[in-house]
């Protein structure tokens, strides 16, 4: 099985380029950003080829924050909103979602309310530390939205 994670000088694990392999023409093969993203999503979901250990899923949950695509947020949301999933994995997915939302400048309230309490707590703590205005603006935005009968949603 190909090792794709290692601890670097910073102490943070992250996706690593596989060693260069000589191709038929003597070139090297590397994963593109899209391929790394897809591989990390497979690892997060536990569907990557060759089997996946829990610590690899933890690493993938953290590393996916660096790939803020819709596919990544969907995968992180899927795991983070599953109350039957490992609590640490849920918390790591929620933390990565928070990082993506901070970078985008908006918290996805519909996702936040679906998270189990420990996942929601991770998001709220990280956003409160890094961009507390996003929590306040989210609360204001939700208060201004009305349903079809004109009532305010809470």
CA 140 to each of CA 40, 101, 109, 130, 146: distance values in angstroms, whole numbers, following the listed order = 35, 17, 11, 19, 12
**Per-residue pLDDT of the chain in tens (154 residues, 90 and over written 9):** 444 544 333 344 444 443 333 344 444 569 999 999 999 999 999 998 888 999 999 999 999 999 999 999 999 999 999 989 999 999 999 999 999 999 999 999 999 999 999 999 999 999 999 999 998 754 444 344 333 334 333 3
The length of the chain, given as a count of residues: 154
pTM of the shown model = 0.71
Q: Distance between alpha carbon 145 and the CA centroid of its chain, in Å?
A: 27
Q: Which residues contact 28 (CB under 8 A, 6 or more apart)?
A: 20, 21, 22
Which residues are 146's β-sheet partners?
152
Owner of token pair 């191709």: 23
User: Are residues 118 and 90 in contact, defined by beta-carbon separation less than 8 angstroms?
Assistant: yes
CA distance 89 to 115: 12
Q: Helix (H, G, I), strand (E, B), or coil: what is residue 124?
A: helix
> What local confidence, expressed as pLDDT, does residue 49 receive?
83
């Amino acid at each position: 099985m190909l090792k794709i994670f290692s601890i670097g000088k910073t102490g943070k694990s992250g996706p690593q380029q596989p060693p260069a392999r000589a191709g038929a023409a003597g070139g090297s093969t590397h994963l593109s950003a899209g391929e790394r993203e897809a591989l990390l999503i497979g690892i997060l979901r536990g569907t990557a080829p060759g089997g996946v250990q829990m610590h690899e899923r933890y690493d993938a949950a953290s590393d996916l924050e660096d790939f803020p695509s819709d596919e990544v947020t969907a995968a992180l949301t899927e795991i983070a909103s599953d109350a039957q999933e490992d609590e640490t994995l849920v918390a790591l997915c929620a933390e990565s979602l928070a990082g993506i939302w901070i970078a985008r400048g908006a918290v996805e309230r519909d996702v936040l309310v679906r998270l189990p309490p420990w996942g929601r707590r991770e998001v709220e703590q990280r956003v409160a530390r890094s961009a507390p205005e996003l929590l306040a603006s989210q609360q204001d935005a939700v208060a201004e939205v009305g349903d079809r009968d004109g009532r305010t949603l809470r």
